[in-house]
Structure 1
Amino acid sequence: MPLADAPLILIIDDTPEELRALCTLLRAHGFRLSLASEAHQGYQRALALQPALILLDVHMPQMNGFTLCRLLREAPATQRVPIIFLTSASSVDERLEGLSLGGVDYVLKPCVPEEVLARIRIHLQLIWRDSPASAVSAPVERLDTDQVILRAAIRFIDQRLGELPGLGEIAREVGTHDKRLSSIFREHLGMTVFAYIREARLRRGQALLLDSDMSIQDIADLVGFRSACNFTTAFRERLGLTPSQFRQQAGGSQSLVHAHP
């Protein structure tokens, strides 16, 4: 295979000297490599180069690997690129977070280069099997950085409605700061982050009222309201009904549908 056609592996790690043996092995087996020593640089290279696979560290300054993974999974150009976490972050919670964010594998340092090579080959074979070269690829949607951050923030919020951290922590989890995140929400959604969170909680509450028999208190807890009273007040202000009235009306409508097919 000509070198220009060889798969490109992007390595994002702030201590690349630890991976010298692995890099030597990968080059010896015909892979092209691109190295980024910090997350922002890695993000830009991933978008520009669209590598076949990414090896990603977790503990890096400024932006950690989990935050970078969130952004890469929201950017259309990189959302299907397999990401293998290669890191010393060894706790069970860290390993589970990496996999839940979309990492295809999680390898601990110090690593055995031959094992990493084997894992890379497995994941590339899976990609090539599922995406044959003959398939016609659709045009890739283009998003600017703010749009990617917005998508990552919305996903983060929607997945953690019941136990959301403060605005500053939400912003850090998606690679920015609170003022910029607030500006992005106002520009793209016409509302503040807190207004979006409130709407998301009420939407989830509506769905649970319709699709479950959970108590109002349990629903309030699950979607992040401090009490059933707070949930009821916000729900009535938004929809003109209390949660109980909404559930009764919805139940009555469903009964009519079933009675008159």
Structure 2
Amino acid sequence: MLDEGRAAEHVPHILVIDDSPEDIRSLLVSLRGQPWRLTLASDPRQGYQRALALRPDLIVLDVRMPGMDGFTLCRLLREAPATRRTPVIFLSSAGTVEERLEGLSLGGVDYVLKPFAAEEVLARIRIHLQLAWRDEVVAPVEAAPSTQDTDQVMLRAAMRFIAQNLGELPPLTEIARKVGTHDKRLSGIFREHLGTTVFAYAREVRLRKGQELLADSQLSVQDIAELVGFRSACNFTTAFRERQGLTPSQYRQQAQGESVGT
């Protein structure tokens, strides 16, 4: 926890990322009335670069923006070392239950719907600043990331997205969009850093997850095949046997037999 002296010296820095600043004018006026530093970005990619370079104490983030939506931006912020622990408050008209849950599951600490009361948003910002200050040590500002650093962030974001969506993995273009790039660049990043294609990597993750489920659960082979994204138990069995030299049933018998014996 920061001591009172250090907390008094540090001026909180708030980054607001919204492509329509005129729609949140009341909040911006209120923020400028606080003893805080305020940075505004009206383009999500600009906001991402400013977040990495300036390392704000808290980010207020819209969802529906052109080019890169707020969910994609949050994925990248959560994978970048400079912003991994920065609180993100979503402030958006994207108000379905599914959208709110997605924002929170991606690491947002709060989700406020438009239209809003500026006083409520300020109160939530204060709360999350206080929570962040309990454990946060103020770090020096880092230089803007290199291209390789950006590639690593996108790679980690894509790997996490794949792992979380094995059962219904979307096409490559959609995976790339979810991490703020296009399919050719994402394919190049996977080839350069992992020496494989996106879907060869996904296949390997599916088989590893299937292997874990066979060893640690009583789910049927059919259920496991569906959970990890194979079209049928037959396809899963063929792929698993090619990788392990055993059928799923044989592997389970061996793995769970060893577990019981130890």
- Regarding TM over 0.5, the answer is yes
Deviation track 1:188-244 (CA, whole Å, cap 9, x = no partner) reads 001100110110000000000000011100000000000000000000001111001
CA distance in 2: counterparts of 1:138 and 1:56, whole angstroms: 23
**Aligned match for 1:14, one of 8, 14, 19:** 19
How far apart, in 1, do the equivalents of 2:87 and 2:255 lie? 43
**SS of residue paired to 2:134:** helix
Whether 2:199 is the aligned partner of 1:190: answer: no
Closer/same/farther in 2, CA of residues 124 and 183 from structure 1, 3 Å limit: same
Provide the residue aligned with 2:157 in structure 1.
152
Please list, as runs of the form range in 1=range in 2, the aligned pairs for 1:43-122 lying within 5 A after superposition: 43-122=48-127
Specify the SS of the correspondent of 1:162: coil
Q: What is the one-letter code of the residue matched to 1:19? A: I
Within 5 A, what are the aligned runs for 1:158-237?
158-237=163-242
Letter in 2 for 1:145: T
Q: Which residue of 1 aligns with 2:130?
A: 125
Q: Give 1:256 shift.
A: 3.0
RMSD: 2.0
Separation (CA, whole Å) in 1 of partners of 2:255 and 2:50: 51
Whole-Å separation in 2 of the counterparts to 1:34 and 1:121: 17
Paired with 1:7 and 1:254, the residues of 2 have a C-alpha distance of 52
Supply the AA of the counterpart residue of 1:256. G
The 1:122/1:65 distance shift into structure 2, 3 A limit, reads same
Aligned amino acid, residue 71 of structure 2: F
Which stretches in structure 1 are left out of the alignment for 5+ residues? none
Label 1:170 to 1:114 Cα distance change in 2 as closer, same or farther (>3 A).
same
| CA distance, structure 1, for counterparts of residue 35 and residue 140 of structure 2 | 28
| Aligned-partner Cα distance in 1 for 2:10–2:78 | 25
- One-letter code of the match for 2:92? T
**Structure 1 position 130, deviation (Å):** 2.7
Asked if the contact 2:93/2:115 (under 8 Å) is kept, the reply is yes
Residue among 240, 249, 252 paired with 2:245? 240
Q: For residues 4 and 42 of structure 1, do their structure 2 counterparts lie closer, same or farther at Cα, with a shift above 3 Å needed?
A: farther
Q: Structure 1 residue 4: deviation in Å?
A: 8.8
The whole-number CA distance in structure 2 between the counterparts of 1:254 and 1:116 is 52
Using the alignment, how far apart are the partners of 1:129 and 1:88 within structure 2? Answer: 31
Provide the C-alpha distance between the structure 2 equivalents of 1:147 and 1:132, rounded to a whole number of angstroms: 25
Q: How much does 1:138 deviate?
A: 11
Alpha-carbon distance between aligned partners in 2 of 1:256 and 1:6, rounded to the nearest angstrom: 59
TM-score (norm. length: structure 2):
0.92
Code of the residue aligned with 2:238 in structure 1: it is T
TM-score of the superposed pair, with normalisation by structure 1: 0.92
What SS class does the counterpart of residue 124 from structure 2 fall into? Answer: helix
Aligned residues: 252
- Cα distance 1:247–1:138, how it changes in 2: closer, same or farther (>3 A)? farther
Deviation >6 Å, runs of 4+? 137-140
Structure with greater contact order relative to length (CA < 8 Å, sep ≥ 6): 2
Please state whether the residue corresponding to 1:102 is helix, strand or coil.
coil
